Every structure is written in C-alpha cells, then in structure tokens.
Amino acid sequence: MKVKRRYHLKKREAKKIKEGLADYSDLIPEKAIIEFLEAEPYPLILIDGEPLIMLVDNKPFPTLKGALKTSIKSNRVIVDMGAVKFLTNGADVMSPGIVDADPKIKKGDLVIVVDEKYKKPITIGVSLIDGPSMVKNRKGKAIKNIHYIGDKIWNLKI
C-alpha cells in the first residue's frame, strides 16, 4: 500500500468524521489520537495508530478492523458459510449466498458483510442493488467487494 501523506486531524475535522459515521461514531473515543493517512485506493483514518475508518467518496465508513471493534448496527449483510472462502479471496458477493440483509440498504450504499455462523465481518463492499432484492434474487452480483480480510488495508502496518 502506497502512503502519500500522514498527518494529525484538527478537532473540527475529527468531529465531522465522527458525525459522518452515524451508527459507528463510537469508533472514535474522546481522547484518541486521530490521524489522516492519504493512501491508495482509499484514504484511511487512524485511531491510536490503527486503520479503523476508510473514506470512500469522502464518506467515512469502518474498515474491517473498525467493524470488529464495534457492534454492527446498520448496513449489514449476512452470507452463508459457503461464500466465506471466496469473499476472503476478494470475490464480489453474489445474491445466492446472501441469507439476510438490512432492508434500509439502497443501491450504492457501503455495507459490512458478515458470516451467518459467527457474525464476524468478512468484507466491506458497495451494494449494487437494494437490501430486499439481495435476499430475494437467486442470481447475479449484489455487492462489489472493496476491502476484505487479507488485503492491503487489513495487512497495513504503521
């Protein structure tokens, strides 16, 4: 992963990020050291040195490490255990593997994909269809995978 710049965020910028996280604002504790990491493919927000938040189209969203540190309240998609090995290799999420999805998900939303047995996050993606359609459809792609276990963001060492 190529890092272009790294700097501490001002309190005002950190507050905007926290507000943008909505349900996941608990990822930024009160006296945390908050840094901005300008990197490819997505800029990251480091909380006490850990990449817990990524900016996708300037919208903050938890990384997988961030999702592991908080309870997943919204934009959650549950996949069957047969899909896990494909997703951890970077595959997109197909509709037949989806067991359940947050009905509020709209096309283009960022989502957290978890497995049905342990409810652990496996991948972060962009929804290609709405939540109810993900469960209803029996063929086709439902989510474009943008961050998964074992990728450059997951393995980032600071």
Average pLDDT over residues 19-38: 93
The two most distant CA atoms of the chain are separated, in Å, by 47
Establish whether domains 3-68 and 76-148 are of one fold. no
Buried b (16+ CB within 10 A) or exposed e, 67-86: beebebeebbbbbeeebbeb
Q: Tell me the C-alpha distance between 25 and 158, whole Å.
A: 23
Q: Give pLDDT tens digits for 35-49.
A: 999 998 899 999 999
Q: Which of the 8 DSSP states describes residue 63?
A: -
Residues 77-102 pLDDT 10s:
999 999 999 999 999 999 999 999 99
Q: What's the CATH architecture for 76-148?
A: Roll (2.30)
Domain 3-68 classification at class level: alpha beta
User: Is 84 in contact with 122 (CB distance < 8 Å)?
Assistant: yes
> Residue 136 — pLDDT band, cuts 50, 70, 90?
very high
Q: Among candidates 36, 78, 79, which has minimal Cα distance to 58? A: 36
For the chain, give every domain's residue range: 3-68, 76-148
